[in-house]
Amino acid sequence: MLQIAICDDNINELSNMVHLLNQYRSSRHLNCEYAVFPNGFDLISALEKGKRFDIYCLDIIMPGFSGIDVAKEIRTYDKIAPILFFTSSTEFALESYSVKAINYVLKPISKEKFFFTFDEILESIKIKKDEDAIIVKSNDGIQKILISNLVYAEVNGRNVLYHLLSGKVIKCTEPFSSVCDNLLKYGCFVKTHRSYIVNMQYVDTIEERQVTLQTLSSVPVAQGKVREIKQQYLAYQMEEE
């Protein structure tokens, strides 16, 4: 189920967005939930508590904490989720590219404009998810794991545990070496320890003995490997820019 965040300090604009989104999900039979935020501080507070969204819809001109500022904060938690700006001004169009916004839509927002924009976003999400996924044989049967939802994997005895963004853990019995070889092909994973491989998208801090993730989990770092891990993480960040 898609999770969508809508942030606008104007209550009338916020209500209009909710109305259009309800029309859209009914028309497209879209399985989604949304949360509304009257300012950017509340949205970032939700992210700090571990909440994540698949799509962010932001007003730009908001007092105290602009939509661009909010987007920059979002990018510290999530490098890839689509950010969509709805605004009454063209002033920040160029700046919106610095946070990799997927679109910049001028108000007033019509039904046609909203539907067209969301059709494009959902198509891009579908393509990405179709491409970036692995198939595993778990204790509950064959399962598809989206790379964007996989935070890290570890080996525990004879089992490999896939830790997902939702908190769910998928248990499989397979060689961990094969798991690592498969995940390393995607370019966003780093092996921090002989028993752990981490999705760098979710790295928060890298310390001498552990890597702390944005989900507040932590994984160990092999002795003497911290410099190599930091170099790989820096290279990954440079590629993402």
What's the length of the chain? Answer: 241
State how far the Cα of 54 lies from the Cα of 102, in Å rounded to an integer. Answer: 13
Residues 4-17: pLDDT tens digits? Answer: 999 999 999 999 99
CATH number of the domain located at residue range(s) 134-240 in this protein: 2.40.50.1020
pLDDT of residue 98: 61
- Total Cβ atoms within 10 A of residue 193: 18
* Domain residue ranges of the chain, discontinuous segments joined by +: 2-131, 134-240
The two structure tokens encoding residue 147: 């790379």
pLDDT at position 184 is 93
* Residue-level pLDDT at 79: 81
2-131: CATH topology is Rossmann fold (3.40.50)
58-72: b or e for each residue (b if 16 or more CB lie within 10 Å)?
bbbbbeebbbbbbbe
pLDDT of residue 171: 94
Along the 241 residues of the chain, how does pLDDT read in single tens digits?
Answer: 789 999 999 999 999 999 999 999 999 888 899 999 999 999 999 999 888 899 999 998 888 888 899 999 998 888 888 999 888 766 665 565 567 677 788 888 999 999 999 998 888 776 555 567 888 988 778 888 989 889 999 999 999 999 998 889 999 999 999 999 999 988 899 999 999 999 999 999 999 999 999 998 999 999 999 999 999 999 988 876 5
Nearest to 179 by CA among 232, 131, 229, 136: 136
